[in-house]
A and B are shown apart, each in its own frame.
Chain A
Amino acid sequence: MDDSFQDLEAELKRLRPRTPSAGLLSRLERELAGPDAATDTRPSRERRSTPVGTLRWVVWPAAAALVVLGGIAVVYRSPVDATRSPAPFAQVAASEDPAGASFKPVGATKFLYETLDEGPVMLSDGLPARRVCNRYVDTYTWRNPRTRASVQWIVPRAEVRVVPVEAF
């Protein structure tokens, strides 16, 4: 760094940022009083005013839980009817297994459960656009043809698109 700035840098470093207010400290005190207090970390002032926002903190952990459950534990022996999927968008090619004992992909579906219009944005070229977020749950299914056991992998996914306003 330029030596001529050293005095100025030193002076700036001597400035002490303002101490947080007692109100903030008491709010932190309440939030962190117990090790397992409520998991919502947002300020209490904000939680009260935006109930819709709070829902987001419920949906995503739930979706994450689905992933874990789907990936690890959902192995079952009942026959699976792949055609019952709400909106199949791909049929995954089954691989040949010489032993005939492993799982084969039998289908994949996507389910759109939320669309959020996040409002107008300005593109780098100056054109107005809107930012739209679509949230999906994708489900992939494998089946063992010999034992008829199935495995499902459920993945939450967000797709953000920037759409020029002329398209609306």
Chain B
Amino acid sequence: MEDPANHDSWRQWFHQHGPRLLLCACLWTRSQADAADVVQEAFVRFWRHQRQLAGEPQALVITSIRRAAVDLSRREDRRTVREQQAEEMSGNMAPLFETAVEDRERILVVETALRRLPSEQREVLVLKIWGELTFEQIAGQLAISPNTAASRYRYGLAALRKDLTPLCHG
């Protein structure tokens, strides 16, 4: 990953990494609006105060996003679990991925399968594939061992493959 400290403009860095950060934020928030809020909070803090720090910038921002999301969920008791479940059942959740016209159906199927995964497997999968974190970094984020992170990743992939097998991976 390139060094953000060498970038003159935050736009360039955010254009490249913002979509992944937003996807990671969706793991720990209840809505797309909340995800955008925590990405904003974490990214502004990173860009102003932390981008000169040593280490992997994206891992640093993801750590900050997770903390902001946890803080937000503690503060936000406005919505009840029933409201959240109603939203999930209504199927009106914002899409996680860009959907090109030619493979739109397949992307929606994969996304649906991803949402069906147990949250701890989905979390590791997203952080590994789109967050581009190592198992060690994921373990640090989630306070689990690297072996546990790797196991959850494998279980997640296996469950996804099983879910998608009738369509493609047979």
Task: Tell whether A pairs with B.
Answer: yes
Question: A-side interface residues toward B, CB under 8 Å?
Answer: 1-2, 5, 7-9, 11-13, 15-21, 23-25, 27-28, 31-32, 39, 41-43, 45-46, 50, 53, 118-119
Max count, chain A CB within 10 A of own CB: residue among B44, B47, B125, B130 = B44
A18 to B42 alpha-carbon distance, docked (Å): 18
Taking a contact as CB atoms under 8 Å apart, the answer to whether B96 and A18 are in contact is: yes
B40 within 8 A of partner (CB): yes
Looking at the complex, which one of A1, A18, A39 makes contact with B22 (CB distance below 8 Å)?
A18
A4 to B37 alpha-carbon distance, docked (Å): 38
Taking a contact as CB atoms under 8 Å apart, the answer to whether A119 and B74 are in contact is: yes
Residues of B within 8 A of A20 (CB): 14, 18-19, 22, 36, 39
Taking a contact as CB atoms under 8 Å apart, the answer to whether B96 and A41 are in contact is: no
Taking a contact as CB atoms under 8 Å apart, the answer to whether B75 and A24 are in contact is: no
Q: List 20 A-B contacts (CB under 8 A).
A: A1-B154, A11-B110, A15-B98, A15-B130, A17-B19, A17-B23, A18-B22, A18-B96, A20-B18, A20-B19, A21-B32, A25-B14, A28-B10, A41-B40, A42-B37, A42-B68, A46-B37, A46-B72, A53-B75, A119-B74
Residues of B within 8 A of A41 (CB): 40-42, 44-45, 48
Given contacts A5-B154, A16-B98, A41-B48, is CB(A31)–CB(B40) below 8 Å? yes
B142 within 8 A of partner (CB): no
Size band of the interface chain B makes with A: 35 or more
A119 to B76 alpha-carbon distance, docked (Å): 12
Taking a contact as CB atoms under 8 Å apart, the answer to whether B18 and A19 are in contact is: yes
Taking a contact as CB atoms under 8 Å apart, the answer to whether A42 and B41 are in contact is: yes
Residues of A within 8 A of B98 (CB): 15-19
Max count, chain A CB within 10 A of own CB: residue among B18, B19, B40, B125 = B40
Taking a contact as CB atoms under 8 Å apart, the answer to whether B44 and A32 are in contact is: yes
Residues of B within 8 A of A7 (CB): 169
Residues of B within 8 A of A119 (CB): 74
Taking a contact as CB atoms under 8 Å apart, the answer to whether B47 and A32 are in contact is: yes
Looking at the complex, which one of A16, A23, A31 makes contact with B19 (CB distance below 8 Å)?
A16
Taking a contact as CB atoms under 8 Å apart, the answer to whether A9 and B129 are in contact is: yes
A5 to B129 alpha-carbon distance, docked (Å): 13
B17-44 vs A, CB cutoff 8 Å, 1 = contact: the mask equals 0111011000000001100111111111
Residues of B within 8 A of A42 (CB): 37, 41, 68
Closest to B49 in A: A41
B60 within 8 A of partner (CB): no
Given contacts A5-B157, A19-B98, is CB(A27)–CB(B19) below 8 Å? no
A8 to B77 alpha-carbon distance, docked (Å): 38
A11 to B169 alpha-carbon distance, docked (Å): 11
Looking at the complex, which one of B20, B36, B48, B161 makes contact with A23 (CB distance below 8 Å)?
B36
Residues of B within 8 A of A46 (CB): 37, 41, 72
Contacts of B75-89 to chain A: CB distance below 8 A: 75
B94 within 8 A of partner (CB): yes
Residues of B within 8 A of A45 (CB): 33, 37
Taking a contact as CB atoms under 8 Å apart, the answer to whether B36 and A12 are in contact is: no
Looking at the complex, which one of B44, B72, B111 makes contact with A31 (CB distance below 8 Å)?
B44
B160 within 8 A of partner (CB): yes
Closest to B130 in A: A17
